[in-house]
Amino acid sequence: MLRIIKVTGESLSPTFREGDYVVLTTVPFFLSQIRAGDYIVFNRAPYGTMIKKVAAVAEDGGGITVIGSHENSVDSRQFGSISADSVVGKVIWHISRPEERRPPISPLLVIFIGILAVSTASIFIRYAQAYAPSLTIAAYRLTISALVLTPIAMKTRRAELSALSSRDVLMGICSGIFLALHFATWITSLEYTSVASSVVFVTTTPLWVALLAPFTLKEPLTRLVGIGMALALVGGIVVGLSDSCTLASGVIACPELADFIQGKAFFGDLLALFGAWMAAAYVLIGRRLRSKLSLVSYITIVYGVAAIALLAIMLSSRQRPWGFPPIAYLWFTLLALLPQLLGHSSFNWALGYLSAAYVSITLLGEPIGSTILAYFLLGEKPAMLKIFGAILILLGIYLATRSEANISAKLPAPPPENG
């Protein structure tokens, strides 16, 4: 007979640690073969069930001497030898608890790099839209990314990919479809509304993530994360409205609501908002799946599925996939390499160490990055309202950063990235 017991205490550390499991054989034939050096589990009043190393076995049946790994361990030095009748079983298999891993680089630094990278997306898209339809741009972005990743994954992650369960594959497919819908709607929204408005609406993602994460991922929504999310969302709205509203003599003047919702701009805003909902689903699924998979395996699956889905959407919409000038393919490639592979992959890597709510909140740094790039590349000087909104966003991210130190300590470590 076999029996599994969880190790409590550190008497035998580092060989057996708190939280490890051991498999025992309880068949009497094997118990009679107990020798010095074996590990056994036994009952000893008043200490209860214990696990110790066998130091000696009396040949005349006088008893078994057991010891721990430390001078202060409670063992035969305190209660003497034990009888064979008190032995529950002999350890035949040791199951170690997962090692807690520290990330090789600060996740906050990786997220900062990711924010800089994704901030280029709206500018590259605007440049590309002068030559190609939006769905074609989205399809090229994910297809190029998938083509870059696939040979790398096949060479380095073949075993991990082959060992995926059907449930993990299904989750990866769902995540990829949500990512495809996110890009299809958001990139299309830039045809109808301003860059600032589109980016602001699509970065409401953390609101939906934070509302759903406690129910779907059992991740706590702390008070600081909630305050940080509220400040960042308000800041994002201010950045978005700064193109339509003016600040003069301390008075903010904005257009009428009816004027705001009329025309194609409102339709573009709705597309961007739908893109935020799709991104929230993508982040939530990614947080759960990313804790099981290495980064390369995860993004290869998700980007590949998203690329196939976008190609299907593009063809069904009768948008042509070729016949563009060379400059258009340059923007396609830059979109794949910077915002997608570097930017989004940075966030996916961070999901292995940080909570979904926090990672999604940091995405609100994108409007700031886009504003800075627009100033240098397009000569667009940010208004005071936009600067004020940027300050609110940074403050929100700072508050969420302080709270994350407590959240991430409770989350499971991701699988190793090496090998």
Of 44, 62, 95, the last residue of a domain is: 95
Residue 349 domain flag: yes
- Residue finishing a domain among 60, 95, 130: 95
Phi, psi for 245 (deg, rounded to 5): -100, 155
Q: Show the tokens assigned to 18.
A: 């708190």
Q: What is the CATH number of the domain that holds 44?
A: 2.10.109.10
Instruction: Let me know whether 221 and 322 are in one domain.
Output: yes
- Are residues 121 and 237 located together in one domain of the fold? yes
* pLDDT value for 120: 93
Residue 78, domain member (yes or no): yes
Shared domain check, 388 and 353: yes
- For residues 257-280, b (16+ Cβ closer than 10 Å) or e, as one string? eeeeeeeebeebbbbbbbbbbbbb
- 236 shares a domain with 90: no
* Residue 418 maps to a domain: no
Together in a domain, 301 and 377: yes
Shared-domain flag, residues 199 and 74: no
Q: Where are the alpha helices (DSSP H) in 248-383?
A: 257-261, 264-290, 295-316, 326-335, 345-350, 356-362, 366-373
Give the per-residue pLDDT at 416: 35
121 plus 261 within the same structural domain: yes
Closest CA to 20 of 86, 75, 88, 93: 93
Q: What is the predicted pLDDT for the residue at 216?
A: 72
Q: Give me the pLDDT at residue 152, please.
A: 93
Residue 416 lies in a domain: no
Instruction: Work out how many domains the chain is built from and give that number.
Output: 2
Say whether both 58 and 147 belong to one domain.
no
Do 191 and 328 belong together in one domain? Answer: yes
Residue 102 lies in a domain: no
Predicted local distance difference test score (pLDDT) of residue 290: 72
On whether residue 419 sits in a domain, the answer given is: no
* 417 within a domain of the structure (yes/no): no
Same domain assignment for residues 182 and 286: yes
Are 399 and 371 members of one domain?
A: yes
Same-domain check for residues 22 and 111: no
pLDDT per residue, tens digit, the chain (419 aa), is 678 788 877 778 778 877 788 888 876 644 457 888 888 988 888 878 889 989 888 876 668 899 888 777 888 888 888 988 888 888 888 877 655 557 778 888 998 999 989 999 989 998 999 999 999 999 999 999 999 999 999 998 888 888 888 988 999 999 999 999 999 999 999 888 777 778 877 877 777 777 777 777 666 667 777 887 788 888 877 776 765 666 666 676 766 666 655 556 778 878 988 998 999 899 888 777 876 788 888 889 999 999 999 999 999 999 889 999 999 999 999 999 999 899 978 887 887 777 766 776 777 788 778 878 877 887 767 777 777 877 887 787 677 656 554 444 444 444 333 33
- Residue 341 sits at the vertex; the CA angle it makes with 339 and 343, to the nearest 5 degrees, is 45
Which helix (H) or strand (E) segment holds residue 87: the answer is strand 87-95
Is 360 contained in some domain? Answer: yes
Residue-range definition of the domain harbouring residue 293: 107-408
Residue recorded with tokens 């680089």: 105
Please report the pLDDT score of residue 232 as a whole number. Answer: 80
Q: Which of 95, 127, 153 is the last residue of a domain?
A: 95
Burial annotation 140-173 (CB, 10 A radius, 16+ → b, else e): bbbbbbbebbeeebeebbeebbeebeeebeebbb
